[in-house]
Amino acid sequence: MSAAWKLAVTADYANADGSTIYGDIGLGTLAEQGIEWSLVGEAGRDLRGEELEGFDALFLLSGTPFGSAQLEGVTTLKHVARFGAGFDSVDLAACDAAGITVTNAPTGLRVPMAHTALTFLFALAHTLLPKDRLVREADWDRKAEYRGPGLATATIGMIGLGGIGQETVRQLRALNLEVIAWNRSPRPEFCAEVGVEQLDFDEVIARSDYLIVTVAANSGTRHLIGAPELARMKDSAFLINIARGAVVDEPALITALQDGTIAGAGLDVFEVEPLPASSPLIGLENVVLAPHSLCWTKDFAESTGAEALGEVIAIASGNSPRNVVNSPRPATGS
């Protein structure tokens, strides 16, 4: 790099001292690589093009929208780096047209996300939240009312066998649990390796005692789990969503939980975030809720930060990044 590479970091999740909502993700190490970073934008509003002009790259720490409106008047931007795996808030077509490379950081969070799924699984299988409440309310005499369904004979269904889905399956199989799976495309080698059946979508839904959703959010997966799918689940089954809120039809899920169509749910994501205080989900005892952060651990911050910033450093140094998620048009000469 002949001149310092200038990196814009979204201010919604970061502070001027380099700390972030996730913890220390390594922003303080960028100066060693000849990269200057500064905060742009404000919490609660979208980015504006005039804030990004003059920067070589943008580091998106949250799911703030990024598309043609943010690119208006921007001529210097070459790279958009997303912290984490999801990039559904980024308009890839607009970035393609502008010749901007978009990267994500999918591998560092696979184990923390798999552990997130297992956390929900054990909490639901052992009715952890009601039992916690009984202790806090000195109501031990009611503990026999909350015998959990357990896991020893359960069938765990996976919806999605991407990186997070595969790691979750490995963790489940290490516990000697029975797993069946659906993925939009066949994964015969992986399924053979871990001893898992890949079945039709409807069959996985109907057979599962716990259904774990890990698919990416896109137009093809919006409301993938809706009223018809919930109706096909066992009335003793549980839904665990660690993907994106839009993958599940939330009003349909609320109805299914209220009328006993399914037994319960574990949710780290919601269609509207933060979840409104008026949501019926908050008052349901058969639901375990987390604020889209159950995987946030020290390990998660360090591994995902290293991977995401590694992509920034690669492009700034003229090297090829590993996790490109779009097809940017080559820059045209003058």
Catalytic residue among 229, 244, 307, 311: 244
Q: In the annotation, is 115 catalytic? A: no
Which residues 6+ apart lie within 8 Å of 37 measured at CB? 6, 7, 8, 9, 27, 30, 59
Catalytic residue among 193, 273, 285, 329: 273
Q: What is the dihedral of CA 248, 104, 12, 164, to 10 degrees?
A: 40
Residue 155 bridge partners (DSSP):
178
Element (H, E) at 69: helix 68-71
In the Cβ-directed half-sphere of 150, how many Cα atoms lie within 13 Å?
A: 3
Residue 37 φ/ψ, nearest 5 degrees: -125, 150
Catalytic residue among 48, 232, 292, 302: 292
Q: What does the alpha-carbon distance between residue 148 and residue 321 come to, in Å, rounded to a whole number? A: 46
Residue 267 bridge partners (DSSP):
241, 289
Residue 211 bridge partners (DSSP):
157, 239
Q: In the annotation, is 223 catalytic? A: no
Starting at the edge strand found earlier in the chain, the sheet holding 5-10 runs 35-40, 5-10, 57-60, 79-82, 101-103
Q: What does the alpha-carbon distance between residue 191 and residue 205 come to, in Å, rounded to a whole number? A: 18
Q: Per the structure block, which two tokens stand in for 94?
A: 């607009």
Q: In the annotation, is 126 catalytic? A: no
Catalytically annotated residues: 244, 273, 292
